[in-house]
Amino acid sequence: MAGFSPWTVPTEPTVLPVQNRPHRSDILAGRQRVSICSTRFHRVGLGLGTNPTRTDPWTPLKATIDGAISELSHVISKLCMSEVLKESEMAVIQIERFWHEAYMDVDIKTMLSGNTVINGFMEILFKSLDPQVLKATIFLLSEMGSKAKDVIQTDF
């Protein structure tokens, strides 16, 4: 990144080296408005312009999480309420995808640990012939059982 200055506002999302990232006090003082999303290996800076405002930089992330939780609850209702096996099987695959993304791990565990959801997984085990769906169901049940002991004691 030759010629990169941490005091310029990037026009596109940029990966900032950790040693070149602006100090938090400079960001808060309005010298540069940058939203920094931290990961273990790098920081991503997104230039937001030079006009300081009092908006929450985490609002897009909160909206994404709220949308994902809403989508997950819709998928769970498909698993528990659908009379069509194929819809229930697709719901299991989608739930497994949510589990692997796991950026809202606590919410997922809470939503999936209910008796009706566990019973929905058990019905899939007995009715489905699709190996991918069966594998996903066994994975989810074993993960839930290892993380929430009350799942193991669910009445069927």
List the chain domain ranges: 14-47, 59-148
| pLDDT, tens only, 131-151 | 999 999 999 999 888 876 666
User: Alpha helix locations (H) across 29-154?
Assistant: 59-81, 85-101, 105-112, 115-127, 131-147, 149-152
Q: Across-strand partners of 34?
A: 47
pTM given for the model: 0.55
- Cα dihedral 43, 47, 51, 55 in deg (nearest 10): -60
Per-range mean pLDDT, top range of 8-17, 55-64, 94-103? 94-103
Structure tokens at 127: 């009715």
Instruction: Output the pLDDT for position 45.
Output: 38
**Residue-level pLDDT at 120:** 93
Average pLDDT over residues 108-129: 89
Answer whether 36's CB lies under 8 Å from 44's CB: yes
Per-residue pLDDT reduced to its tens digit, 25-79: 444 444 443 333 333 333 333 333 444 444 554 445 455 566 677 888 889 999 9
Q: Give the residue-averaged pLDDT of 114-130.
A: 92
DSSP 15: E
